[in-house]
Structure 1
Amino acid sequence: MSNVLNTFLDENLQDLRTQGLYNEIDPVEGANGPIIQVAGKQLINLSSNNYLGLATNDELKKIAQNTIETYGVGAGAVRTINGTLDLHVKLEQTLAKFKGTEAAISYQSGFNCNMAAISAVMDKNDAILSDALNHASIIDGCRLSKAKIIPFAHADMDDLRAKAKQATESGLYNKVMVITDGVFSMDGDIAKLPEIVEIAKEFDLITYVDDAHGSGVTGKGAGTVKHFGLQNEIDFQIGTLSKAIGVVGGYVAGKKNLIDWLKVRSRPFLFSTALPPGDVAAITRAVEIIMESTELHDKLWDNGDYLKKGLIELGFNIGDSETPITPCIIGDEKLTQQFSKRLIEEGVYAKSIVFPTVPKGTGRVRNMPTAAHTKEMLDDALAIYAKVGRELGVIQ
């Protein structure tokens, strides 16, 4: 290894450890369900994005297995050559129905969606109004486009309106986009989409909503855009297929001409092998399950409300969450890391989230209750939270 590289890595890794910012990765030994095994120990799992429990659903596992027997384990090519299987067509038709749009396109990950869709439409002659707490994939997608990035204060509609007015009236940009998460993953709050749409109409802004943590969760499962009845007003609906859907991948839903454009101009679609057939079949059925019944959605929200109530009664600060995402905000990074470590030692896997994922001084342990948790599991988790919280002086 180069001496200069070795010095850079050693010094910076040690600096992260000293600040409490180094993230230890814990391999899960088996399925990522409500109970997981880490280092041989059974733990209540409150760190998974498997909101509806579909990642371990028996029906979906059988569908994936049967599809692999027929189609093989891989698609064999990029979508534009001969990697588009009839399975992909059915998936995208199902996604369009799910999101209430004319068409949809699938990608290999939710992160890929933002890298693909933003840069396919926006360029150096354009501007993007981006919520200050948008996900890293949105930030990177905006950077890749080379458009002028204009952050607005988180969920601050006065700031958005002022910056939209300035950007559109400056004459500097051909197009202006406003982009936001639907549900913000670190705090669990919901974007003010009706107000955003109102401002977008006033200034002719392109509207873009990344609903990675909303699809399957908000709007009785249909997502944040449908929750507000705005599926005809939002230009880009982005989602992941790896959280509530339980498998892997991402999608963009919108007007047919938008999807047609992405198929010929979005680079991850053009240059990456298509999603594998077993996953595609499982995804399609998962979306159908969400459309057919709200049972899993309702159980998720019931568990989320139950955990929130218990944590608040214990005295924890859970911020302004409006969804099952439930942060326990600790603040200090080292204390946050210690708090998470003690939870794991006592039997709850709840991972610490610190800078750069969240701003410095706002470290938190983020809890993700799912439809697969039982009340007994959540009661056990709350008892452990009480013990560790008092031990470390986080609560009285």
Structure 2
Amino acid sequence: MGKYDFITAELADLKAQGLYNTIRTIESAVGAWTVVDGKRVLNMCSNNYLGFANDPRLVEAARQAVARYGVGPAAVRSIAGTMTLHVEFERKLAAFKGTEDAISLQSGFCANLSAIPTLMGAGHVLFTDELNHASIIDGCRLTKAERVIYPHRDVGALRRALAEHKAASRKLIVTDGVFSMDGDLAPLREIVAVAEEFDALVMVDDAHGEGVLGSHGRGIADHFGVQGRVDIEMGTLSKAFGVMGGYLAGRREIVEYLRQRARPFLFSSAATPADVAACTTAVEILEKSDEPVRMLWDNGRYLKGRLADLGFDIGHSETPITPVMLGEATTAWEFSRRLFAREVFAQAIVFPTVPKGKARLRVMVSAVHTKEDLDFAVDAFARVGRELAVI
């Protein structure tokens, strides 16, 4: 028996269950229409909420940054990798978020791995929503803190758990702001209130709320009017901002402590000049105008209405994220393949990203989709839905 036989068997099992992920290749800039595997298709599954991934203003900012600073800092931030670009971006981001300070990281995943293990340790207690993102789960696993997993969005259960652990020297509630697979929101106003009652810290992962929720896309804390009451806001720069990276924003002493002790900040090279300059430009655009955010929400409402009218199960999303629920993984993959044949790109989402039996297509609109684009997508969904007897 060969030493790799177990891997071959696992891959065969994934294919048999319909869980094998066929990874497609992007061959152009990411926009409303994108070249995928040699075919021009309507892109309905990227996180390019505001269309910034190919925005000429961000492209030009990146080009100028490379011309001045080169392609990379060639060091970690804490030794020789902090450039004026990083300092300027963090200052502007904190001002945009309405927080005292901000720290930028290499990714949203790194941001969660920076904050949670740095702030929590043995003798402390973490309270985490059962549907939190994998990066939150991994951040919690890296600590020696006790973990309490509370039912999804259940503030009553959270309060009871906090009461049971009120003697803990340090308590942290961590939750996604927007739950990315279903598009529903954390009840952040209520979470903050119960945290204040039990003297717990609150951290919100705003990866899918940044650029989407709140005034000019400032995020979920702004959306619920709890700015200054959330201790740590985490976000990504790869979704609405269309670039790459992550950040943590909050009270000055928390951010400074993360600069001193967060391992991804200390031991992984700094973000590239091109990325940082493009992200700074994204913040500047949103400061000046909320038009991209309004266009995103208009498109989201339009698409949801059309798909619901056709009889699709689109769940209970409160954001432009539109899950088209299909149940079995094999159905979801076949639906995705048939859409692609009709020039619509929407990948299947199956276990382990979502529970077994809850496979879906997560349809993602963008501010740069036109109504004609959305009608084209709806027509393809209608045809495939009838072919597969989904509607």
Partner of 1:204: 199
The gaps in structure 1 that reach 5 residues or longer are none
The gaps in structure 2 that reach 5 residues or longer are none
Moved more, 253-262 or 38-47: 38-47
Partner of 2:352: 356
Say yes or no: does 1:381 pair with 2:377.
Answer: yes
Partner of 1:194: 189
- The CA deviation string for residues 170-224 of structure 1, in whole angstroms up to 9 with x for no partner, is x4x3211111011110000111001101110111111000000001000031101
Question: 1:3: Cα distance to partner?
Answer: 2.2
- The CA deviation string for residues 276-321 of structure 1, in whole angstroms up to 9 with x for no partner, is 1111111101011112110000000000001000000000011110
Rounded to whole Å, the distance in 2 between the matches of 1:41 and 1:118 is 42
Partner of 2:58: 60
Say yes or no: does 1:176 pair with 2:182.
Answer: no
* Structure 2 counterpart SS, 1:329: strand
Q: Which amino acid aligns with 1:39?
A: D
Say yes or no: does 1:155 pair with 2:122.
Answer: no
Residues 201-350 of structure 1: pairs in structure 2 closer than 5 A: 201-220=196-215, 221-350=217-346
Partner of 2:80: 82
Partner of 1:139: 137
* Structure 2 counterpart SS, 1:162: helix
Q: Which amino acid aligns with 2:54?
A: T
Q: Which amino acid aligns with 1:238?
A: M
Question: 1:98: Cα distance to partner?
Answer: 1.2
- The CA deviation string for residues 247-288 of structure 1, in whole angstroms up to 9 with x for no partner, is 100000011110110001000000111111111111101011
* Structure 2 counterpart SS, 1:387: helix
* Structure 2 counterpart SS, 1:3: coil
Rounded to whole Å, the distance in 1 between the matches of 2:193 and 2:251 is 20
Report the aligned-residue RMSD.
0.9
Say yes or no: does 1:367 pair with 2:366.
Answer: no
Q: Give the paired residue count.
A: 390
Give identity over the alignment, percent. 52
Question: 1:39: Cα distance to partner?
Answer: 2.1
- Displaced runs of 4 or more, over 3 A: none
* Structure 2 counterpart SS, 1:145: coil
Rounded to whole Å, the distance in 2 between the matches of 1:332 and 1:97 is 45
Partner of 1:3: 2
Question: 1:347: Cα distance to partner?
Answer: 1.3
Would the aligned equivalents of 1:222 and 1:291 in 2 still touch at CA under 8 Å? no
Partner of 1:51: 49
Question: 1:393: Cα distance to partner?
Answer: 0.7
Rounded to whole Å, the distance in 1 between the matches of 2:70 and 2:226 is 39
Q: Which amino acid aligns with 1:187?
A: D
* Structure 2 counterpart SS, 1:11: helix
Would the aligned equivalents of 1:122 and 1:175 in 2 still touch at CA under 8 Å? yes
